[in-house]
């Protein structure tokens, strides 16, 4: 706090049109004759004692105060240290902080802007700005510009302890030659030392020790996670907040108002608290720096078609499936074929149609295409598979094989959709089989990938007339 018995020092006047240590022409007011004469005169001042320098009519002393007597500028004149003698110059009359080039912590306050050769000029913040930080209580109380602050430490169980000395606060500083008071916020503030984030204190007036990290939130009060739980770990929805707490996270990387906030509520599910979130998950590209699923630092992209595929017309041969002619006792359904040779058409194959109860029904399949141009209405030619089938195109988790097929589409590749847009596949209601390719605009759609639908049984699919939407996936056999 500022000492009421001390008055601020008036700001010192700057000399007009002169450099820090000379006239505008680079010399001094006493410069006459050639350079040799100037060096002779300068040399006449060098090495003089303080008394000899002050007695000379052409020399002037370098005088400065140490930081302990000049942070801030004192009311009562303080003794100066003598740091050499120089030729009488016309210098700006502004007090100047400086230190020797080889001793950056040895600050001094000079009466004007003339400083010894080899010294480096600075400002009050560099010389005195952290002068109160780390002081013991007695030293803090003894320093005119420092103020001891007390805070209540946070003990185990979120209990506030007895108030104690927490550190030192800079209460005054020199600003353009005048001492000014630095005021506290007056608001209850929580803070901890920068090197000890676990040691919290509460300060009732907002005066916090220099160098401490402050927070407006009570560290004992439960708070919403800074990062949306879905971005931290998919399916990690455990909530450590009271039931009914609503948390919001802004849509990442979006312009103001472009997309609404993401909203989640902490709900009690049979004695366990979990987040329930509104769908879809609103974000924009790019999400640089976000810890999103997929192990990347950017928003995950859905599958898309950069280039058109060319399918081998005849798939690699495989053993004929073990098909049953029909259900026992002649019931339906029944297999259409037992081997590839029974199927007609170029590239025809006898493929598994249905598996269950250890039995397989088979039907004949004929490839519809080998490239996109074989398909009508700009449909995409999706290559089939008969070995190591995954649920990326052929139907079902049982790995049903398939042949090349034309899928409804409004694009063949990303280039058909325009800059920044993707030609992405949409899936059937079970999420097993691709049913079409459509342009996917990350800036205008409800979802860009299944991750943004926030749920294991949700997918991002295309619906005619509505575009890309988050859709629930039912339990499919």
Helix (H, G, I), strand (E, B) or coil at 68: helix
Q: Tell me, what's the pLDDT at 82?
A: 92
Q: Tell me, what's the pLDDT at 185?
A: 80
Given a cut of 70, is residue 218 above it in pLDDT?
Answer: yes
CA nearest neighbour of 293 among 422, 441, 454: 454
- Chain mean pLDDT for the chain: 75
CA nearest neighbour of 262 among 474, 427, 470, 473: 470
Given a cut of 50, is residue 269 above it in pLDDT?
Answer: yes
Mean pLDDT across the stretch 162-169? Answer: 91
Mean pLDDT across the stretch 175-199? Answer: 79
CA nearest neighbour of 199 among 161, 168, 227: 161
pLDDT per residue over 86-111, tens digit each? 888 878 777 788 999 998 888 888 88
Q: How confident is the model at residue 15 (pLDDT cuts 50, 70, 90)?
A: very low
Cβ atoms of residues 132 and 168 within 8 Å: yes
Higher pLDDT among residues 147 and 406, named by residue:
406
Q: How confident is the model at residue 437 (pLDDT cuts 50, 70, 90)?
A: very high
Q: Tell me, what's the pLDDT at 388?
A: 62
Mean pLDDT across the stretch 132-154? Answer: 85
Given a cut of 70, is residue 173 above it in pLDDT?
Answer: no
DSSP conformation class of 267: E
Q: How confident is the model at residue 316 (pLDDT cuts 50, 70, 90)?
A: low
Distances (CA, A) of 106 to 69, 79, 146, 175: 13, 17, 20, 21
Q: Tell me, what's the pLDDT at 62?
A: 92
Cα 276 versus chain centre, distance: 25
Cβ atoms of residues 372 and 380 within 8 Å: yes
Q: How confident is the model at residue 299 (pLDDT cuts 50, 70, 90)?
A: low
Mean pLDDT across the stretch 230-258? Answer: 73
Q: Tell me, what's the pLDDT at 420?
A: 86
Q: Tell me, what's the pLDDT at 175?
A: 62
Helix (H, G, I), strand (E, B) or coil at 301: coil
- Report the C-alpha dihedral over residues 107, 112, 117, 119, rounded to 10 degrees: 20
Q: Tell me, what's the pLDDT at 51?
A: 93
Q: Tell me, what's the pLDDT at 436?
A: 93
Higher pLDDT among residues 430 and 34, named by residue:
430
Q: Tell me, what's the pLDDT at 396?
A: 63
Q: Which two tokens stand for residue 85?
A: 């003698």
Given a cut of 60, is residue 338 above it in pLDDT?
Answer: yes
Higher pLDDT among residues 50 and 238, named by residue:
50
Cβ atoms of residues 314 and 347 within 8 Å: yes
- Report the C-alpha dihedral over residues 5, 11, 12, 16, rounded to 10 degrees: -170
Given a cut of 60, is residue 324 above it in pLDDT?
Answer: yes
Q: Tell me, what's the pLDDT at 394?
A: 73
Residues in the chain: 477
Half-sphere exposure of 39 (CA within 13 A, CB side): 3
Q: How confident is the model at residue 287 (pLDDT cuts 50, 70, 90)?
A: very low
CA geometry: angle at 309 spanning 304 and 312, to 5°? Answer: 145
């Amino acid at each position: 706090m500022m000492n009421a018995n001390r008055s601020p020092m008036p700001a010192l006047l700057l000399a007009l049109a002169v450099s820090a240590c000379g006239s505008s022409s680079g010399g001094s007011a006493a410069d006459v004759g050639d350079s040799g004469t100037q060096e002779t005169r300068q040399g006449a001042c060098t090495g003089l004692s303080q008394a000899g320098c002050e007695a000379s009519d052409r020399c002037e002393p370098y005088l400065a105060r140490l930081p302990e007597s000049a942070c801030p500028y004192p009311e009562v004149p303080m003794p100066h240290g003598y740091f050499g003698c120089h030729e009488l110059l016309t210098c700006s009359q502004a007090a100047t902080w400086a230190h020797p080039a080889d001793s950056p912590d040895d600050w001094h306050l000079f009466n004007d802007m003339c400083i010894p050769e080899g010294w480096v000029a600075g400002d009050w913040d560099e010389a005195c700005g952290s002068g109160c930080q780390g002081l013991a209580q007695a030293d803090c109380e003894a320093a005119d510009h420092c103020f001891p602050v007390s805070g209540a430490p946070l003990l185990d169980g979120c209990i506030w302890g007895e108030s104690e000395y927490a550190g030192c606060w800079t209460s005054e500083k020199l600003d353009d030659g005048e001492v000014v008071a630095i005021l506290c916020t007056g608001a209850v503030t929580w803070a901890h030392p920068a090197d000890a984030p676990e040691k919290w204190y509460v300060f009732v007036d907002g005066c916090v020790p220099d160098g401490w990290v402050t927070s407006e939130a009570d560290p004992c009060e439960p708070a919403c996670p800074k990062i949306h739980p879905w971005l931290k770990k998919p399916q990690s929805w455990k909530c450590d907040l009271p039931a009914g707490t609503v948390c919001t996270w802004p849509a990442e990387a979006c312009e103001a108002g472009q997309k609404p906030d993401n909203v989640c509520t902490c709900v009690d599910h049979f004695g366990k608290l979990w987040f329930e979130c509104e769908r879809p998950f609103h974000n924009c590209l790019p999400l640089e720096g976000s810890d999103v699923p997929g192990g990347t630092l950017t928003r995950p992209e859905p599958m898309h078609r950069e280039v058109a595929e060319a399918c081998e017309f005849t798939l690699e041969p495989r053993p004929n499936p073990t098909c049953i002619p029909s259900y026992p006792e002649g019931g339906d359904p029944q297999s259409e074929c037992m081997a590839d040779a029974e199927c007609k058409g170029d590239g025809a194959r006898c493929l598994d149609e249905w598996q269950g109860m250890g039995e397989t029904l088979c039907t004949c399949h004929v490839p519809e295409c080998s490239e996109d141009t074989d398909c009508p209405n700009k449909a995409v030619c999706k290559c089939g598979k008969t070995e190591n089938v995954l649920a990326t195109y052929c139907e079902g988790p049982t790995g049903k094989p398939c042949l090349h097929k034309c899928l409804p589409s409004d694009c063949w590749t990303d280039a058909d959709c325009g800059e920044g847009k993707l030609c992405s596949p949409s899936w059937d209601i079970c999420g097993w089989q691709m049913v079409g390719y459509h342009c996917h605009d990350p800036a205008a759609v409800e979802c860009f990938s299944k991750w943004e639908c926030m749920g294991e049984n949700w997918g991002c699919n295309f619906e005619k007339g509505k575009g890309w939407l988050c859709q629930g996936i039912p339990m499919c056999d």
